[in-house]
Amino acid sequence: MDGILVYFSIYPSYCGVFLHFQNITHIIITMSEQKPGSLIHTLTKWFVPIAALIALAGWIYIAPPGLMGKLDAIGYAVCHRLDTHSLHIGNIQMPLCARCTGEFNAAAITLVFQGFVSRKRSKLPNRGILAVLVIFFLSFAIDGSNSYLALMKTTYPGAFSNIPNFYITDNSARVFTGSAMGIAMAGILFPLYNQSIWRIPEDQQALKWPQFLLLVGIVLVFDFGMLTQNPFILYPVALLSTLGVLALLSMVFSIVWIMVMKQDNAFDHLYQLWLPAVAGLTLAFLLILSIDLFRFNITHTWGGFPGITG
């Protein structure tokens, strides 16, 4: 997520990418205005998988070759990918910077964990856990802002010289604060997702203290493992963290799809979610494809932003 700050500070026109989705939104809203069982709803079941294949094919075509190249292209859409702020597998840079790796790896773990433990539970955690999640968010925001300030001072000597840094952050701090944010994001998104999709959601807290502490322990094991920079740990983390990006985006877009299609609380079983899930994944790939094309057209590199060093 550090990359988002860099994008908007250096390339303000970057936000124009999202205008491409106005047409998509118009199409979806038009579909939602049709009555269930109408021809347009029937066509939707064909349109979405075809659109998914086209979006995926387009993304595969522009992405760098090889598995790591494809993972890089996913990270490229959400992360600055600065070499000095990233972990490495030998000489190979991870698809996401250290902070984003921790963030999306933890988010993926949190979603999988809740999928097994919480299932259809739809209530947010209690106030105590929510307070911890707020602290997690603040740690991410403070360390990220402090790191960003140091980055700008290094890149533009003399800039922001009157604003002191609280401390000098490093990749270890980025991993831990990123993981904290990943737990917070997925811990909130999961019950909200359940509130949106299930006809009869379970009226229980998605995370209770025993499960929450176990989840934090699991994430910490991954974090310490990452910092060893052992390839046997980093390769799975590279895959898991980029899948975390896709999972979060797909879930958010699935909720949007369900809302505009007026299918809130209409599902009883997981297999019934295939269409919203595919629609969400399609929109996620369209967003990633658009950002990748826009950024590559400006920077002409799949790495970090030219001229920016940490």
pLDDT in tens, the chain (310 residues): 554 444 434 433 333 443 444 454 444 444 444 444 556 667 777 888 899 999 999 999 999 999 999 999 999 999 999 999 999 999 999 999 999 999 999 999 999 999 999 999 999 999 999 999 999 999 999 999 999 999 988 888 888 888 888 888 999 999 999 999 999 999 999 999 999 999 999 999 999 999 999 999 999 999 999 999 999 999 999 999 999 999 999 999 999 999 988 899 999 999 999 999 999 999 999 999 999 999 999 999 999 998 887 6
- What residues contact residue 250 under an 8 Å CB cut-off, 6+ apart? 277, 280, 281, 283, 284
Residues 41, 307: contact at Cβ < 8 Å? Answer: no
Residues 29, 30, 31, 37: is their CA dihedral positive or negative? positive
Q: What is the pLDDT of residue 306?
A: 87
The full length of the chain comes to: 310
What pLDDT score was predicted for residue 30?
45
258 vs 28: CA distance, rounded Å: 10
Give me the sign of the Cα torsion angle 57, 61, 66, 70.
negative
Q: Which two tokens stand for residue 210?
A: 């025993």
Q: What is the DSSP string of the chain?
A: -HHHHHHHHH-GGGGGGGGGHHHHHHHHHHHHTSPTTSHHHHHHHHHHHHHHHHHHHHHHHHSPSSHHHHHHHHHHTT----GGGS-EETTEEPSS-HHHHHHHHHHHHHHHHHHHHTTTEEEPP-HHHHHHHHHHHHHHHHHHHHHHHHHHHHHSTTTTTTS--S----HHHHHHHHHHHHHHHHHHHHHHHHHHHBSS-EEEES--HHHHHHHHHHHHHHHHHHHTT-HHHHHHHHHHHHHHHHHHHHHHHHHHHHHHTT-TT-BSSGGGGHHHHHHHHHHHHHHHHHHHHHHHHHH--SSS-TT---
- pLDDT at residue 307 in the model: 80
The whole model's pTM is what? 0.87
Q: Would you state the pLDDT for residue 20?
A: 45
Strands 121-123 and 88-89: unpaired
pLDDT at 261: 87
- Nearest Cα to 29, choosing from 283, 272, 259, 277? 259
For the chain, give every domain's residue range: 98-279
**pLDDT (0 to 100) of residue 310:** 64
| pLDDT, position 40 | 66
| DSSP letters spanning 214-272 | HHHHHHHHHHHHHHTT-HHHHHHHHHHHHHHHHHHHHHHHHHHHHHHTT-TT-BSSGGG
C-alpha to C-alpha distances, 121 to 58, 124, 139, nearest whole angstrom? 37, 9, 27
Do the beta carbons of residue 190 and residue 111 sit within 8 Å? Answer: yes
How many CA atoms does the CB half-sphere of 292 hold within 13 Å?
A: 23
